[in-house]
Amino acid sequence: MGHDKRADAALEFRIPLVVETLSANPKPELGVAIIVPDLANANKQVSNLLLQALQSMGFAIVSPKLDLRVFLMPEQQWHTSIVELSAPELAAYGKAAPTIPLPSGRIYAVQYSGRYAYAEGALRIILSVNLMERSRLGPFRETTFPYSRGFFKDRLEQSVKAQLVSVRK
Amino acid sequence: MSAEQQRVVLTLVWTAGFAGCIAVVSGYMFNKDALGNPLLSWRDVLEVLQSVVAIYAAYLGAILASWFTKPFAVKADSGRAQIRFWVALVGAATINLAFAVWLGVGFWGDGVSLDDIKESRLVVGWLSFLAAPASIYYFGVRTPRT
């Protein structure tokens, strides 16, 4: 949190990935790890988890096109729709990154891009955050000033973890 | 009114139209919505001004150039000079006013986007028949189609 645009060029977060077995000891902690019956089915579960997390934040995955039979594969690049930041979200940003505030008098939106991979018993989500701005009547354009991309990474990470909790309840 | 004075009046109409259009477009930067967001940002305004200047460069540029070139021979007055001048004046005023009003669509229209504002250049093309004959007659120039 509070990093500038250059400092966090490689945004990523990890979530433990556990293969559920009858003999697993200790039992994986619910709501903290992704628990999959076997690694062969992990991709679909991870894809759905990511999609649900993004949807809960108002995003859709616009590329690639997903349906019930098509899901995200490891290392496959995906891009979300562009979603405007609400006033509470802007206020949260202001609190989280007071040293690099977003200039006022603009409408902001965010687009995520990323891919996932498996590494060392964890799901690794590698992200790229694109903050855009526009006037009331103008189109969205990429911002040219530094901002905390870590804030937006944290937001998605929290959303993914919230999905873990809701799935396992 | 002499032929020279008529040319001055028409030049002033086009100059005022240019200034008015720049004022309308610039006004978008200073008008804000309830949340304090300007209707257009500086980068948006530059995009619109680009098309405004391109249009006036064709019309007003040619008119201004005529003041520095050797005047062409004026035909003997056929007695319709006054009517001709009023036709030219109304044509020039109409095309400039229509352009300025469409440029200002963001102030009075609902659901307007930057593209709608930029499309205002179309009206100059549509109404060029009002200004082109007069420009040829008074300034000896042929205005290009936009």
Give the model confidence (pLDDT) of A65-76 as tens digits.
887 778 899 999
Tell me which amino acid residue A81 is.
S
Tell me whether A134 touches chain B (CB under 8 Å).
Answer: yes
CB contact under 8 A, B113 and A137: yes
Residue A92 neighbours by CB under 8 Å, 6+ apart: A151
Q: Does ipTM top 0.90?
A: no
Q: What pTM value is reported for the model?
A: 0.79
Tell me whether B124 touches chain A (CB under 8 Å).
Answer: no
Q: Pull the structure tokens for residue A99.
A: 């040293």
What is the percent of chain B with per-residue pLDDT over 70, rounded to a whole number?
Answer: 89
- The pLDDT of residue A133: 96
Q: Which residue of B has its CA nearest to A137?
A: B113
- The Cα–Cα gap between B124 and B128 comes to 6
Between A135, A139, A141, which is nearest B38 by CB?
A: A135
CB contact under 8 A, A137 and B117: yes
Which residue would you say has higher pLDDT here, B138 or A124? A124
- The pLDDT of residue A3: 44
Our CA angle for A70, A73, A77, nearest 5°, is 105
Which residue would you say has higher pLDDT here, A62 or B65? A62
Least confident of A25-34, A68-77, A88-97, B99-108: A25-34
Q: How many CB pairs under 8 A join A and B?
A: 42
- The Cα–Cα gap between B99 and B33 comes to 24
* Maximum mean pLDDT: which of A70-74, A156-160, B19-23, B74-78: B19-23
Per-residue confidence at B21, pLDDT binned at 50, 70, 90?
A: very high
Q: Which residue of B has its CA nearest to A141?
A: B43
What are the phi and psi torsion angles at A19 (to 5°)? Answer: -85, 125
- The Cα–Cα gap between B44 and A137 comes to 9
Q: What is the mean pLDDT of residues A128-156?
A: 94
Q: Which residues pair with A13 in a beta bridge?
A: A125
Q: Which residue of A has its CA nearest to B28?
A: A137
User: What residues of B are in contact with residue A133 (Cβ under 8 Å)?
Assistant: 41
Residue B57: count of CB within 10 angstroms of its CB: 13
Tell me which amino acid residue A88 is.
P
Q: Say if residue A147's pLDDT is above 90.
A: yes
Per-residue confidence at B29, pLDDT binned at 50, 70, 90?
A: very high
Give the model confidence (pLDDT) of A96-133 as tens digits.
999 999 999 899 999 999 999 988 788 899 999 999 99
